[in-house]
Amino acid sequence: MHYSKRTRLGIAFLGYWLIVFAVLTFFARGDDFCERPGAPNTNLLAAKLALFLALFDSACCITVAQALRMAVPKMQGFWLGPVLTTLAVGTSLAYLPFWIYEGYGRFRFEQTWADVSCFFTEGYGIGFLIVIPPVLALATFVKAALLRRID
């Protein structure tokens, strides 16, 4: 079955979002801070963060692919695109808890619609750094390599 490039990109985006959502939902399960009374539903928070991360991943994939298309011949840079995309996404995800933390016990989007700070608080902050960036970087690599392969 042959799909258009736009359809393949949409399927890749949806698949990546589902993986991120599943990982984040599993990661936050049992977190007292995320599941405290009066807090938004953990699945809603995971869906919002997963959407942001999937959009960021897609932007990295597109940017790296365009840059390499102009700079490197097609076959010579076959693995370079997925590797560079993985490095960009992985390091950005590892830095995310530090970027979102404003200091003095406050997070940047606290008390707004974009508040997903429970993923980065208490013991889950270090857990996020250890678990999420490597898993999602691997998912980014697989997605970028598959898209590059079928391109």
- What pLDDT score was predicted for residue 4? 77
- What pLDDT score was predicted for residue 111? 72
User: Is 90 exceeded by the pLDDT of residue 18?
Assistant: yes
Q: What residues contact 10, with CB distance under 8 A and at least 6 apart?
A: none
Count CB-CB contacts under 10 A for residue 73. 9
pLDDT band at 32 (very low <50, low <70, confident <90, very high): low
- What pLDDT score was predicted for residue 89? 92
Strands (E), the chain: 101-103, 106-107
Secondary structure element (H or E) that encloses residue 147, with its range:
helix 124-150
pLDDT tens readout for residues 48-83? 889 999 999 999 988 888 888 777 766 566 788 889
Domain ranges of the chain: 5-150
One-character DSSP codes across 11-48: HHHHHHHHHHHHHHHHHHTT-TTTTSTTSPPHHHHHHH
CA gap 50, 37 in Å, rounded = 23
pLDDT tens readout for residues 74-99? 656 678 888 999 999 999 988 887 77
Structure tokens at 111: 């008390």
pLDDT band at 43 (very low <50, low <70, confident <90, very high): confident
- What pLDDT score was predicted for residue 148? 75
